[in-house]
Structure 1
Amino acid sequence: MRKITLALLAIGMAFIGTKASAQGKYGADSAECIKYLSYYVEYYKTKNYEEALPNWRKAYSVCPPSARENMLIQGSTLMQKEIAKAKDPALRQARIDTLLTLQDQRAATYPKSKVKALNNKGLYIAQYIKDDNKFIYDELNKIISENQEQTLPNIFLLDLNSAISLFKDDELTAEDVINTYQNAIAMFEKMEQNDDNARAKSDLEGLFIGSKVASCENLISLFTPRLEAAPEDMDLITNIVRMLGSTEGCQNNDLFLQAVTTMHNNQPSSNSAYYLYKLHSAKDNAELAVKYLEEAIASEDIEEASIADYQLELATYCVKKGMNGKAFEAAKKAAELSPANAGKAYYLIGTIWGSTRCSGNEVTSRANYWVAIDYLQKAKAADSSLTEDCNSLIGSYSVYFPQKADAFMYDLSDGQSYTVNCGGMHATTTVRTQK
């Protein structure tokens, strides 16, 4: 019924507009138009809305919308008061339809007021229409299509809420809801950046995530064929990263990895390289994980304070993957770059040397323990909180020192300088034997 009423009103609007353009600003019966405009305004000014209403109705019936913009604005106020008084549902609905039509007429007749009129229409829909999600969704989408980023933020929220309700009633697909959300986010990004808009955007994101419409399975099913069809579409790739990145548990999949990789290749940064390191390490792709973490470290945009942290993280990761030589070099750089990291870096180097298996005779196969203890001593000197752990390892490693007789056989004695080369690492240390 609402659609029929609005359609008839729209036809009437077009007819009145055609007559007005042919017969002047005040229409065919300009005298009557001017008279009733004057009558209702006098009552309206004194807030005698009861008397203003019938005269406004007469003015509205004989005047074209172009006669006076205030006729539409003040008529909206009168209609709101009538809606509040209406007890009969049909009468109330008719007045709501008139209120919405007034906004359409104002938007069509007064281009400078178009955005405001359509935004007002959206607010009136939110205020007065509660049980027709299809109507709400269709009408708000029309407003958003016209107003774009000038749409009031709350209208985007209501639009998404209606889309979610329609999805739950099987009247929209998950893709429809996702597209509604993405369009809203794109509009928010074009808006002025202020606290109110940021808060509305956050509410929109919360509404979308809470709806659980965009399950990981839905997103992968939706975006995989799109990415296959347009693998270099950066807008699409940005959407994929945003959507999958904000969906819990939806980052460990090939689609997300491909999108993040393409984004990094087109717009490389330390952050994107580090993110790829995390993704590949989660997939146990050790070589690629190391590659991207090294890229992050070498990036021009990385903050200097982060380099030492990344070096220490690289060293720790390489130790786990048995890349002791690379771990040793990264840990040394971490210690050199940051005194705050020195204790942890030296401790890590100590464990690297202590776990390395060196070949050779009774001395060369045990010399790594000398180096390990050297670094453990440096670790506890740099960070006293590591003392207990360091002392424990020092006690464990010391039992592996060569016997004095074995060292003597190779012309070595306690306190003598000795260079160790093992596992792609080298260090100069001091000979020590078991007591």
Structure 2
Amino acid sequence: MKARFIALLTVALLGTGALSAQSNDCATMAALAYDDAKAKNYDAAYGPLMKVREECPKYSLATYQYLERVLNDKIDKSEGEKKAEFVEELIDVWEERLELFPNKTKKGDVYSDIAKLKYFNKIGDKESQYKAFDKAFVEDKENFTSAVGLYAYFSLLVDMQDAGERSLEDVFEKYDDVIEKVEEEENDLAKTLAGLLEKQEKGEQLTAKEEKMIKIAETNLEAYSKVKGSINAKLGQRADCDNLIPLYSKDFESKKDDVSWLENANARLSAKDCTEDPLFVKVSEALHKLKPSAKSAYSLGQLAESNGDYGKALEYYNEAAELETNPADKARIYYRIANNYKEKGSFSQARSFYRKALREKPSLGNAYLQIANMYASSANNCGTTTFDKRAVYWLAAEYAAKAGRVDPGLSSNANQAAAAYRGRAPQKSDVFQEGRSSGEPIQIGCWIGETVRIPSL
């Protein structure tokens, strides 16, 4: 009652000024309606809020924000036709908000929320639900960031393909679009997280805001990681070599001069390592002849590698990296080059290319894991004393732990690796016997050339 009295008093005072009679009435109605909504008295707030919306639609964005809460509550508590009515009402509220407050409303948010509302409440058939998500993705891809929404969008298309209403090519094309969007979001989050973790590792004090940013980034990275796994599971065996090779083989002769078709076929065969089939050779050579590009050079590198010509493979991979403009694809190439160097024991060169891959794709946790593995493998060669040699494992553990934080999908393996490395590093008694203390820096020599600090044990 006290809050309601203050709200009415405020309105009365405002009414004595320059407000018109109509704006005064709007303010009065809104104050009463908002008061109930703030108190979560949604049943009481519903009627007054709808009246404010009807009579004073442009009064305040708050009207639509409170109505969203009220209608979500009613949807949760309703069933059948009544539930469907509230769903449609909420959609109207969102669309009206977008129309009246376009500068404070993101289309991608609104359209994806509408699509999710229809999807989870089974409003309409799969086609209409899919079109609702497609509208959000096409009209405002930048702000369509809902992880669960992206999964539902792709899942509906796969279901329609299973029903014979869409082609396998449609599924592959949409898969590329959705995965690219997921990875864009992952990379943005991982870039923010990596910077804060680096600051933390240097022993710098993080602000409360930065601590919160780490939690948000890690939570959202985990959500995107789970969704990416679900999307790949939904795609399932549709994208394995047993399906891809017949799909593209039947059209090769008629499409061998079609650059766009060759690029799509090449990209999917390459991504799934379907490199041993003669079709891959034909597609790669035809594409490189018509349009030499990063992708065709990469494919020729794969062919050379499968034939055991690693020197030629590296030539093609480096050419592909120079030509590639897409960060995720460039990272994939750098990662492949790094693996080649690692297998040959050229750890310093391998690390250089893993780092290049991470600059292009900060969420590529596997690159951190590979660096950790190389450091651990070099521990016995990078130190003058037994203690300093074992200290290398602390550094390996840091890299392994970072892998799991930027890519939650790797967290289980990354955490196990980090724990194993810590188990091989000096223990508390070793630190004491050496007269060392936590926080003390240890310079690691040889090709590693980094500093690690003794952790608190």
The reply on whether 1:42 has 2:35 as its aligned counterpart is yes
The reply on whether 1:254 has 2:284 as its aligned counterpart is no
Partner in structure 1 of residue 213 of structure 2: none
Partner in structure 1 of residue 91 of structure 2: 100
1:90, 1:143 → 2: CA distance?
Answer: 26
Partner in structure 2 of residue 188 of structure 1: 182
1:61, 1:83 → 2: CA distance?
Answer: 21
The reply on whether 1:161 has 2:186 as its aligned counterpart is no
Are residues 259 and 44 of structure 1, via their aligned partners in 2, closer, same or farther at CA, if it must alter by over 3 Å? same
Amino acid at match of 1:140: F
Q: Give, in angstroms, the shift of residue 113 of structure 1.
A: 2.2
Are residues 253 and 137 of structure 1, via their aligned partners in 2, closer, same or farther at CA, if it must alter by over 3 Å? farther
The reply on whether 1:69 has 2:61 as its aligned counterpart is yes
Q: Determine if contact 1:41/1:52 at 8 Å carries over to the other structure.
A: yes
Q: Give, in angstroms, the shift of residue 123 of structure 1.
A: 3.8
Partner in structure 2 of residue 386 of structure 1: none
1:109-128 → structure 2 map (5 Å cutoff): 109-114=101-106, 115-128=108-121
Partner in structure 2 of residue 201 of structure 1: 228
Are residues 217 and 300 of structure 1, via their aligned partners in 2, closer, same or farther at CA, if it must alter by over 3 Å? closer
Q: After superposing the two structures, state which structure 1 stretch, 263-272 or 197-206, moved more.
A: 263-272
Amino acid at match of 1:176: D
Q: Determine if contact 2:244/2:269 at 8 Å carries over to the other structure.
A: yes
Task: Tell me the alpha carbon deviations over residues 120-153 of structure 1, each in whole angstroms, 9 at most, x when there is no partner.
Answer: 3344334323773122101000011122143223
Q: Give, in angstroms, the shift of residue 94 of structure 1.
A: 1.1
2:157, 2:77 → 1: CA distance?
Answer: 31
Q: Give, in angstroms, the shift of residue 178 of structure 1.
A: 2.4
2:103, 2:276 → 1: CA distance?
Answer: 46
The reply on whether 1:267 has 2:267 as its aligned counterpart is no
Task: Tell me the alpha carbon deviations over residues 227-276 of structure 1, each in whole angstroms, 9 at most, x when there is no partner.
Answer: 64542x5xx65543342245586861425642377469533999755411
Partner in structure 2 of residue 81 of structure 1: 73
From 138, 143, 163, the counterpart of 1:145: 138
Are residues 111 and 176 of structure 1, via their aligned partners in 2, closer, same or farther at CA, if it must alter by over 3 Å? farther
How many corresponding residue pairs?
270
Amino acid at match of 2:41: N
Instruction: Specify which structure has the bigger relative contact order, considering alpha-carbon pairs within 8 angstroms and separated by 6 or more residues.
Output: 2
Task: Tell me the alpha carbon deviations over residues 172-203 of structure 1, each in whole angstroms, 9 at most, x when there is no partner.
Answer: 23233222222212323433413343443343
Are residues 160 and 28 of structure 1, via their aligned partners in 2, closer, same or farther at CA, if it must alter by over 3 Å? farther
Amino acid at match of 1:216: L
Q: Determine if contact 2:155/2:231 at 8 Å carries over to the other structure.
A: no
Q: Give, in angstroms, the shift of residue 84 of structure 1.
A: 2.1
2:246, 2:24 → 1: CA distance?
Answer: 63
2:240, 2:55 → 1: CA distance?
Answer: 50
Amino acid at match of 1:97: E
Q: After superposing the two structures, state which structure 1 stretch, 263-272 or 179-188, moved more.
A: 263-272
Are residues 173 and 269 of structure 1, via their aligned partners in 2, closer, same or farther at CA, if it must alter by over 3 Å? closer
Q: Which runs of 5+ in 1 are unaligned?
A: 1-25, 282-289, 311-435
Partner in structure 1 of residue 265 of structure 2: 240
1:165-184 → structure 2 map (5 Å cutoff): 165-184=159-178
Are residues 200 and 57 of structure 1, via their aligned partners in 2, closer, same or farther at CA, if it must alter by over 3 Å? same
> TM-score scaled to structure 1, two decimals?
0.51
Amino acid at match of 2:248: I
Partner in structure 1 of residue 81 of structure 2: 90
Q: Give, in angstroms, the shift of residue 204 of structure 1.
A: 1.8
From 242, 248, 260, the counterpart of 1:220: 248
Q: Determine if contact 2:298/2:317 at 8 Å carries over to the other structure.
A: no
Are residues 270 and 159 of structure 1, via their aligned partners in 2, closer, same or farther at CA, if it must alter by over 3 Å? closer
Amino acid at match of 1:267: A
Partner in structure 2 of residue 373 of structure 1: none
Are residues 250 and 170 of structure 1, via their aligned partners in 2, closer, same or farther at CA, if it must alter by over 3 Å? farther
Amino acid at match of 1:39: L
- Counting aligned pairs with the same residue, the percent is 15
Are residues 168 and 296 of structure 1, via their aligned partners in 2, closer, same or farther at CA, if it must alter by over 3 Å? closer
Q: Determine if contact 1:39/1:55 at 8 Å carries over to the other structure.
A: yes
Q: Give, in angstroms, the shift of residue 82 of structure 1.
A: 1.1
Q: Determine if contact 2:94/2:110 at 8 Å carries over to the other structure.
A: yes
Are residues 309 and 269 of structure 1, via their aligned partners in 2, closer, same or farther at CA, if it must alter by over 3 Å? farther
From 295, 298, 305, the counterpart of 2:312: 295
Are residues 259 and 268 of structure 1, via their aligned partners in 2, closer, same or farther at CA, if it must alter by over 3 Å? closer
2:312, 2:267 → 1: CA distance?
Answer: 23
1:5-20 → structure 2 map (5 Å cutoff): none
Are residues 237 and 299 of structure 1, via their aligned partners in 2, closer, same or farther at CA, if it must alter by over 3 Å? closer
Amino acid at match of 2:113: N
Task: Tell me the alpha carbon deviations over residues 269-300 of structure 1, each in whole angstroms, 9 at most, x when there is no partner.
Answer: 99755411256x5xxxxxxxx7x555236679
Q: Give, in angstroms, the shift of residue 226 of structure 1.
A: 9.3
Amino acid at match of 2:283: Q
Amino acid at match of 1:84: D
Amino acid at match of 2:231: L
Q: After superposing the two structures, state which structure 1 stretch, 213-222 or 48-57, moved more.
A: 213-222
Q: Determine if contact 1:156/1:184 at 8 Å carries over to the other structure.
A: yes
1:242, 1:191 → 2: CA distance?
Answer: 22
Amino acid at match of 2:138: S
Larger Rg computed on CA atoms: 1
Partner in structure 1 of residue 304 of structure 2: 277
2:311, 2:23 → 1: CA distance?
Answer: 80
Amino acid at match of 1:100: I
Q: Give, in angstroms, the shift of residue 62 of structure 1.
A: 1.9
Q: Give, in angstroms, the shift of residue 35 of structure 1.
A: 3.6
From 28, 37, 50, the counterpart of 1:57: 50
2:268, 2:296 → 1: CA distance?
Answer: 20
Amino acid at match of 1:175: E
